[in-house]
Amino acid sequence: MSDNKLLDGKVIIVTGAGRGIGRATALMLAENGAKVVVNDIGGSADGSGNDATPAQEVVNEIKAAGGDAVANFDSVVSWDGGQNIVKAAVDTFGRLDGVVNNAGNLRDVIFHKMTEDDFDSVIAVHLKGTFNVSRAAATIFREQGSGTFVNMTSTSGLIGNFGQANYAAAKMGIVGLSKSMALDMARYGVTSNCIAPFAWSRLIGSIPTDTEEQKARVAKIQQMTPDKIATLAVSLCSDKAKNVTGQIFGVRNNEIFLFSQPRPFRSAHTSEGWTPDTVLDRVLPAFEADFYPLSRSADVFSWDPF
């Protein structure tokens, strides 16, 4: 393992750690001295199925390099699963210092064709899963007066994308959840931040490539490897980042971004109060020049990755 022991003595859970960003994060955490709970049910990209192989292979790789890790196969979608994941950390390593909420699935479909199951399954893994594991860890973090949450969001929610209403809703929900966790847990020395990753992974590999535009988008994403995301996640888990909380970061190859957060920037007022007619005649026309366009992530991040 690396001589740099930035996280020496820490125990960190990574959900969805069998592949992609989660795998890269688990490996880099271990390289920097952390003991890692490698959680992954080994499901397909849409969340179905189970396979212990991916998580166990990551554990084997960590141990072969001189680190310490344990595999866990509980699902984040249930309250009991979240409790069991945290219990695995405490039972195996005696403590818990951080959670990287990375588990995810995709059910991409245009909104008017999206089924209830398409929506519920994505919300369950991303948003409810982040809650379940974080809530289980929160009790320990409160008692010990320290802890770190790193939560994966997405520009599909922060900005927008076609065919991902379920995913965007889940990822924006994670932003609100992470901010609330940061606010509620700050008094106990606990931090919570979000990362919006741009990286080639198995889930991104399921994005359609039916058009030339889609093929070009995927080709650009393939340049952005998961280890670039892992670097920031590892940094946020260190004590040197203990004053960083409530933030939304983005990583795009060698670029790291700090995202703005919604604040009012235009206002209208009247002493008489508003009516539908005056809103339509005065307020909306006054605001129109500052309306946000219906942009997608690719419209905002239009340049090639550095």
d(CA 244, CA 297): 25
pLDDT of residue 2: 44
How would you write the pLDDT of the chain (306 residues) with one tens digit per residue?
A: 446 699 999 999 999 999 999 999 999 999 999 999 999 999 777 677 788 999 999 999 999 999 999 999 999 999 999 999 999 999 999 999 999 999 999 999 999 999 999 999 999 999 999 999 999 999 999 999 999 999 999 999 999 999 999 999 999 999 999 999 999 999 999 999 999 999 765 555 556 677 887 777 677 777 789 999 999 999 999 999 999 999 999 999 999 999 999 999 999 999 999 999 999 999 999 999 999 999 999 899 888 888
Q: What is the 3-state secondary structure (H, E, C) of the chain?
A: CCCCCCCCCCEEEEECCCCHHHHHHHHHHHHCCCEEEEECCCCCCCCCCCCCHHHHHHHHHHHHCCCCEEEECCCCCCHHHHHHHHHHHHHHHCCCCEEEECCCCCCCCCHHHCCHHHHHHHHHHHHHHHHHHHHHHHHHHHHHCCEEEEEECCHHHHCCCCCCHHHHHHHHHHHHHHHHHHHHHHHHCEEEEEEEEECCCCCHHHCCCCCHHHHHHHHHHCCCCHHHHHHHHHHHCCHHHCCCCCCEEEEECCEEEECCCCCCCCCCCCCCCCCHHHHHHHHHHHHHHHCCCCCCHHHHCCCCCC
d(CA 11, CA 69): 9
d(CA 258, CA 247): 8
Give the angle subtended at the CA of 242 by the CAs of 173 and 177, to the nearest 5°. Answer: 10
| Pairing outcome for strands 69-72 and 98-101 | unpaired
Residue from 65, 4, 32 nearest 236 by CA: 32
| Pairing outcome for strands 69-72 and 190-198 | unpaired
pLDDT of residue 233: 98
Other CB atoms within 10 A of residue 264 CB: 5
Catalytic one of 73, 93, 141, 167: 167
Other CB atoms within 10 A of residue 259 CB: 15
pLDDT of residue 204: 57
Residue 31 CA from chain centroid, whole number = 21
pLDDT of residue 197: 96
Active site residue 167: yes
pLDDT of residue 201: 59
pLDDT of residue 203: 54
Residue from 59, 66, 97 nearest 2 by CA: 66
For 11-262, the fitting CATH number among 3.40.50.2300, 3.40.710.10, 3.40.50.300, 3.40.50.720 is: 3.40.50.720
Give the angle subtended at the CA of 67 by the CAs of 62 and 72, to the nearest 5°. Answer: 55
d(CA 112, CA 80): 34
